[in-house]
Structure 1
Amino acid sequence: MASRGEIYSTRSDSERRTYFFNVKENRRGDLFLNIVESSKRDEGESFDRHQIMVYEEDIKGFMEELEKAVAIARKRESLTEAASPRKYKKKTSATHPSPRQKTSGNGEAKATNLQRKKVLKLKKKRDQDT
């Protein structure tokens, strides 16, 4: 469903929300990025819809700050995952390392420096608590 001035459109669906990323052109020929978040209301068929528009001259600065924020969110997410107790220990195989593990030339999984630091930090914290 293309609207007037729409150059590109894509979407990302999750359980609760849908995000739309649209590149549009206004009447004067200026490009802008339109980001829309849509979520279903509890009572049924209606939706909450929020949007922001980032104009062409602001995109570079916007993306720099967005990338910083995403990097921090991902770092915190990975720290939370590492600190949370797991009921079942995931088996790793030397021939099939997890996507986060690096491999040596012979296919063995190696922990990255960041993973080692996280483990040491968690061990130190655990030792302090006991």
Structure 2
Amino acid sequence: MEDNKDNERTEIFSERVRAGKRTYFFDVKATRSNDYYLTITESKRRYKDDGFFYEKHKIFLYKEDFNKFVKALNESIGYVKDELMPDVDFEAFDNEDEDARDNASHGVAASANSELNWD
């Protein structure tokens, strides 16, 4: 039987974000030719008659699209915060999140209002 390693992609970095009933995974991976890309996975635990399963949705984001993706994400979130929900204190949500507090104590949490900059 052929070794499965040839079909796997090397994982370089992984970050997990728990968000209520969902968990998001941000995984940086490398191809065989050491080209890097990001996978963003949304995982939701679902129940059915014989137990539970995880429903997953995955996005592959390639380096040539990083800047466009981040720009669109920042603009979309900014629109919701500024135009649709200006009275909501979004920073208060961070205070409720235990993972954010744990990560902040280790120096890896970013401010909710900071924009991503991939220049």
> What's the TM-score once normalised by structure 2's chain length?
0.59
> Does the 8 A contact of 2:27 with 2:39 survive in 1?
yes
Q: 2:23 — aligned with what?
A: 18
Larger Rg: 1
Q: Find the aligned partners of 2:53 and 2:77 in 1 and give their Cα distance.
A: 30
> What's the TM-score once normalised by structure 1's chain length?
0.55
What secondary structure is seen at the aligned counterpart in 2 of 1:42? strand
Q: 2:73 — aligned with what?
A: 66
How big is the shift at 1:73? 2.1
> Does the 8 A contact of 2:9 with 2:32 survive in 1?
no
Mapped pair 1:78 → 2:86: yes
Gaps of 5+ in 2: 1-7, 90-119
Q: 2:112 — aligned with what?
A: none
Q: Find the aligned partners of 1:78 and 1:42 in 2 and give their Cα distance.
A: 36
Q: 2:53 — aligned with what?
A: 46
Structure with higher RCO (Cα < 8 A, 6+ apart): 2
* Amino acid across the alignment from 2:46: R
Gaps of 5+ in 1: 83-130
Percentage identity across aligned positions? 34
- Runs (4+) of structure 1 moved beyond 4 Å? none
Mapped pair 1:8 → 2:13: yes
* Amino acid across the alignment from 2:78: A
Task: Compare the two structures and name the one with the higher strand fraction.
Answer: 2
Residue correspondences, number: 79
How big is the shift at 1:4? 4.3
Q: 2:101 — aligned with what?
A: none
